[in-house]
Amino acid sequence: KEERIVELETENAILHLKLAEYQERVGRSRREATWFYALLNGQQQWPSSAHPALVQICHLIQKLKQDVKDFRSSFLDLLSSCQAQYQEQLSNMAAAIRRAQLSTENLQACQSEILHLQLSLKEMDMRYHVEKQRRRELHNTLVELKGNIRVHCRIRPLLPLDCELDDPILQNGSDSREVAHAVDEETILVRCDRPGHPLINKTYNFERVYGPAEPQTAVFADVCPLLTSLLDGYNVCIMAYGQTGSGKSYTMLGPELPSDAHSDLGLIPRAVEEFFRLISENPSGSPKVDVSILEIYNNDIFDLLAKDSSTVVSGVKRDVVTTQDGCTEVPLLTRGAITSVLEFMELFHQGLRLRAKNPTLVHADSSRSHLIVTVTLTTATSLASTDQQPGQTLPGKRTRASERWSSAHQASPPGSVPVDPVGSRKQVWSRLQLVDLAGSECAGMSGVTGLALRETSFINRSLAALADVLGALSEHRGHIPYRNSKLTHLLQDSIGGDAKLLVILCVSPGQKHVAETLQSLGFGTRARQVKRGQARKKSPHSQIREWCLGSA
């Protein structure tokens, strides 16, 4: 609009210049006309030959007068039009300025409201996270008071193997190949609509649900509090459960191929690393750490750190026994003393090299055994620091032994509290069990035959025995069938004892694995129903027993 005004003003100035020029020409013509009138009246004498030229000049003068008149009329019309347009543009500009001012005021008000809403949202978000953390702490406290088993669920990402076009389950089926979804941090939804099958639409609730995109660090962040409990004197057991190929070994051990990324480390190396970090922050009590690694293969226990006569680690068959006080132990189990994460990883990789593995159609590096890594912490406790007086026995039910005296293998008189030969210290023992269970299998899907089929049979039977034990515990049966399998017999103290137990369910999101996924989620649901009573901290004055264990 301003450019149009400037253009009109420029045009007006040009017209003024032309008007002045024409006025000058008109004045000159008038003077010439006066001179000609005088000439015609006889005041001037022209020759007769000049008359035609004079007539022509008069006609030209008349024409110029008419042109000036027309030009003046056009100029006045144009000037009036420009003034009208100028006033209109000014009016429009003033209205636009008023609208802009109003919009600016509204924008400022909106910005102020947005800032207020952002602050309110931030405050509500902070309050939500505080309440969420408080609710989680209260839930964990309730779980501890009830003695319930903590159950987390992790959904692995969808892999190309899950979407094979020649799979009979996916042929002529729906486009939804991913059937397991993390609704929120505590809920998982399984929805599957296959032609010829009933609609599956089920939700399951657990203490924590991890989506396919959540990294190893997110899983480990929820495990850290249990490691702190270990240093407080509680036994802790963490096990991964699920079908073959669902990501159990990745969760517990890390990637199969070596990786430089620390974010890919599994729970076992992370837990030991955090374990030593916590010890370094509180080195009191002269803590000592040792580790044992064993596998349960075809219902037989093998010590993966045992060495033969030529000091070569070869794996030796062991057995599990129940002591007189009802505890389970593995006699002659090799335990290697460690003082750092590097020493642990060296022993850990030695044991993993001996673990039974066999490729299947579902998993090219399928574990064929249950792996159990036990980290034992022994700390010296001063008798003077305890609340109980020497010679006083603990009331109530006797806890399973998890401590040992630093003195020699000597029995103490009934009702007395043995003392170290030094006279003021004893050793308190607590353990961390990290269990990578072999995956349940469907022989038809995994395509195993021969020896691998026999391995599958033993794996499924041991996992079924584990489910039976959890079912018996949840139903408060009088008899718990721990001895139906070496797995449940060995883990008896952790499953039904006083340990803090965390089960990590690993499930596949693929439609072809929906049956195994539902079975795993059902297992986790039954595990959450087990109420074992509050876990008991290992006190220096609880019942003592001596462990007969070999040393590496």
Closest Cα partner for 152 from 162, 140, 163, 164?
A: 140
Q: Is 539 annotated as a binding residue?
A: no
Q: Quick check: 217 and 263 in contact, CB under 8 A? A: yes
DSSP 3-state assignment of 435?
A: strand
Closest Cα partner for 480 from 399, 488, 370?
A: 488
Q: Is 242 annotated as a binding residue?
A: yes
DSSP 3-state assignment of 402?
A: coil
How far is the C-alpha of 254 from the C-alpha of 363, rounded, in Å? Answer: 15
Q: Is 196 annotated as a binding residue?
A: no
**417: amino acid identity, one letter:** V
User: Angle at the Cα of 459 (from 297 to 496), degrees rounded to 5?
Assistant: 90
Q: Residue 497 is encoded by which pair of tokens?
A: 């004892």
Q: Is 249 annotated as a binding residue?
A: yes
Q: Is 245 annotated as a binding residue?
A: yes
Q: Is 248 annotated as a binding residue?
A: yes
Angle between helices 51-146 and 2-40 (to 10 degrees): 170
The string of DSSP letters for 324-383 reads: TTS-EE-TT---EEESSHHHHHHHHHHHHHTS-EE--SS-TTEE-SEEEEEEEEEEEEEG
Q: Residue 441 is encoded by which pair of tokens?
A: 């299998």
Q: Is 391 annotated as a binding residue?
A: no
Q: Quick check: 222 and 416 in contact, CB under 8 A? A: no
Q: Quick check: 491 and 483 in contact, CB under 8 A? A: no
User: Angle at the Cα of 166 (from 160 to 167), degrees rounded to 5?
Assistant: 75
Helix or strand holding residue 190 (H, E): strand 187-192
The DSSP code for 441 is -
Q: Is 389 annotated as a binding residue?
A: no
C-alpha dihedral (386, 392, 397, 401), degrees to nearest 10: 60
The stretches of 400-547 forming alpha helices (DSSP H) are 443-446, 451-474, 486-490, 492-495, 514-528
Helix or strand holding residue 237 (H, E): strand 236-242
The DSSP code for 163 is G
Length of the chain: 552
The answer for 298, left when phi > 0, alpha when psi is -120 to 50, beta otherwise, is left
Radius of gyration of the chain (CA): 46
- Give the residue ranges of the annotated binding site: 242-249
- Give the residue ranges of the annotated binding site for ATP: 242-249
